[in-house]
Chains A and B, each alone.
Chain A
Amino acid sequence: MKTLQDLQKLRDEAKKRVSMREGDVRYRVLVGMATCGIAAGARPVLNALVEACAKEHYDCTVTQTGCIGMCTYEPIVEVLDQDGKKTTYIHVDAKKAVEILESHVKNGILLEAYSLQ
């Protein structure tokens, strides 16, 4: 490391790896991962979300939660914004999951086609 810019670059890289500990992200993405969710295919959804986040650095965290109580709609993905407003997406698969990130988390546009009305 020779200059302050080198350090800044290293910092920006390193920051991405610890940001989930700071709790000040725009969105929290929750995946229902109880028995019902896992049986309906929540695991590939979770994997897709985590992978996409690592690649694109969306301003969100991905967390798994327990049974949301609507087992017939699983896999379910919930997106919470900073004001606590919740959008519930149902019957999500890996492809839809990435679309949700791209549209809702990145551009702030709800994907009504996939959401619970």
Chain B
Amino acid sequence: MERMHVLVCAGTGCTSSLSAQVVEQIQSELVKLNLQTEVKVIKTGCFGLCQKGPIVAIHPDRVFYCHVTPADAVEIVAEHIYKGRPVKRLELTDIDEVTKEKIFNIDEIKFYAKQQRIALKNCGVINPEDIDEYIAMEGYMALGKALTTMTPQEVIDEVKKSGLRGRGGGGFPTGAKWQFAANQPKGQKYVICNADEGDPGAFMDRSILEGDPHVVLESMAIAGYAIGANHGYVYIRAEYPIAVERLEIALKQARELGLLGNNIFSSGFDFDIEIRLGAGAFVCGEETALIQSIEGKRGMPRPKPPFPAVSGVWGKPTIINNVETFANVAPILRKGSEWFASIGTEKSKGTKVFALGGKISNTGLVEVPMGTTLREVIYEIGGGCPDNKNFKAVQTGGPSGGCLTEADLDTGIDFDNLVALGSMMGSGGMIVLDEDNCMVDVARFYMDFIVDESCGKCSPCRIGTKRMLEMLTDICEGRGTAETLFELERLAHKVKDTSLCGLGQTASNPVLSTLRLFKSEYDAHVFDKKCPAHVCKNLLTYSIVAEACRKCGLCARNCPTSAITGVLGKEVYVIDPAKCIRCGACMTACRFGAVLRG
């Protein structure tokens, strides 16, 4: 006899902020009050608001609590669950812009109000480890509908009509890819779900798998039916242990109910899925390298064509789709292509999930219709840059993408617009940068990542990216010259034009994008030997303004290298630049603002 459901996020973000202990605490408190049979505690996937985790939601009351500690859990049980008095101080709130009053109603909170959830629909709502809850949300109905009332070609046509494009980065039309594979001669074919998600800062796919693993399995089976494959692989990195575990549980439950296996829905269609763990190399997300890795070989890309749809895993026709792409397939079949095509922009249909990170108040996972502007995502949903800092740029597409600036904020986000602005959609990482970020340093960060991740098969990427990293490091450390800048740009184009796979072909994008948009920052590093954002240590100088110095000596006492000299109460203190390691300890120590950073 259940009268209340307590939903606690058990995604990776909230788990690391002790959500498991919160669950235990709630459960033991319920037992103390003898409420354990009427109040059910459910561990769900991500609610999206990772910044405010752990999140606890109470239904049917629709009350959301944030930053819940195990101690708070005691209060929530005693006050809210037992006595029916929501604990206001822990409730998720917004401020009404007009009345300046607090908003408690979850449906009016801006973070959620602007979002539209298709791929994340069940995340944070169902228990991902209970197939019944997925089924309650119409789960596996799309597969049932496809197998019992549609031909494979009708399934493909439906996906084509929906306008769904791949969410893994390229934006390739999914229906066309399936058609390509379906047109290959009958025989062994494969469906692969790409859950490698190597883009630093991205966690969309992980959250879908943690929060709603069945939608991916159901959609893979639909894809198998459409192209004539009876075997699927989920290629997922071993660094995602929670997602792997939930996938395994989901697979077992689906097999037990006969939703995977032989003769599904008595249709004669067989389909089963295997999990393959990757070791977490970025290049293994590239489809041809991924196939090599599944086959047990070293993950290295190969030239295309032949495309995987013709010759994929074990040389057989194979389709590879991203996790989020699959998460849209079952809803499309269930609700119809017209419904899906009515959402989004002319050429980009549906929604897109973004992992918002960097200098943003509401770090987390958001899903918005295509065409939503960057301003809406960053300011209305994300809450803007914290600490009243000025927004500088937003990086999309990770190490393959580029930056967008203030001028682009009112552009609707879709595949084509972002490319036209010199960036790309990528898989959905969205890193916000503010005035304290140095754009040269950002470019160097991504290049450093690429150098580590290049597989080394072709020389433009293997050697070229290493050289670019050296040049960027020179610029950041004050050794850059006009020639460095010139060579950097030239090499960036060369690597882009001559690399074998997407990794090398896009590796220059962060450099080219920042060079184009923030040339003045590069120039300041090279010609003035200054880092305008005060990030590049070698270009910083600390000095003490004599007039402001009160001769207290606090700076000298805090300096780890004894670079500051003066006489207490008598002589102003001075910093010896030769000894200074630019740690900033003096600046933090000085109570009179006498230390100057330049």
Contact = CB atoms under 8 A, between A and B. Distances in A.
B135 A33 contact: no
B83 A66 contact: yes
B554 to A, nearest CB: 53
Interface in B231-262: 257-259
Contacts of B145: 4
Tell me if A's interface is mostly helix, strand, loop or mixed: helix
How big is the B interface, by class? 20 to 34
Interface string B255-292: 00111000001100000000000000000000000000
Nearest to A38: B83
Interface string B126-155: 100000110111111100110010000000
Contacts of B258: 1-2
Contact of B133 (A3, A14, A23, A31): A14
A2 B1 contact: no
Contacts of A2: 258, 265-266
Given A11-B135, A14-B132, A23 B62 contact: yes
Contacts of A25: 60
A46 B257 contact: no
Contacts of B338: none
B257 A23 contact: no
Given A1-B258, A11-B138, A50-B38, A18 B84 contact: no
A65 interface: yes
Interface in B56-79: 59-62
A49 B85 CA distance: 19
A14 B136 contact: yes
Contacts of B467: none
B5 interface: yes
B488 interface: no
Given A10-B132, A10-B135, A34 B84 contact: yes
Nearest to A21: B59
Given A33-B84, A50-B1, A14 B265 contact: no
A14 B1 contact: no
Interface residues of A, number: 38
Contacts of B85: 34, 65-66
A64 interface: yes
A51 interface: yes
A17 B83 contact: no
A85 interface: no
Contacts of A8: 141
> Which residue, B3, B135, B140, B141, has most C-beta atoms of chain A within 10 A?
B3
Contacts of B5: 18, 20-21
A19 B257 CA distance: 22
B352 to A, nearest CB: 25
B46 interface: no
Nearest to A34: B83
A21 B7 contact: yes
B50 to A, nearest CB: 21
B193 interface: no
Interface string B330-356: 000000000000000000000000000
Nearest to A33: B84
Interface of A: 1-4, 7-8, 10-11, 13-15, 17-18, 20-21, 23, 25, 28, 30-35, 38, 46-47, 49-51, 53-54, 61-66
Q: Which 10 A-B pairs have the closest CB atoms?
A: A61-B60, A64-B84, A14-B136, A66-B85, A20-B60, A50-B3, A65-B84, A4-B144, A14-B132, A21-B59
Given A1-B258, A4-B141, A21-B125, 4 more contacts: A17-B133, A51-B1, A53-B3, A61-B60
24 contacts: A1-B265, A3-B265, A3-B266, A4-B145, A10-B132, A11-B139, A17-B133, A18-B126, A18-B133, A18-B137, A20-B59, A21-B125, A23-B59, A34-B83, A34-B84, A46-B3, A47-B38, A50-B3, A50-B38, A62-B3, A62-B60, A63-B4, A64-B82, A64-B83
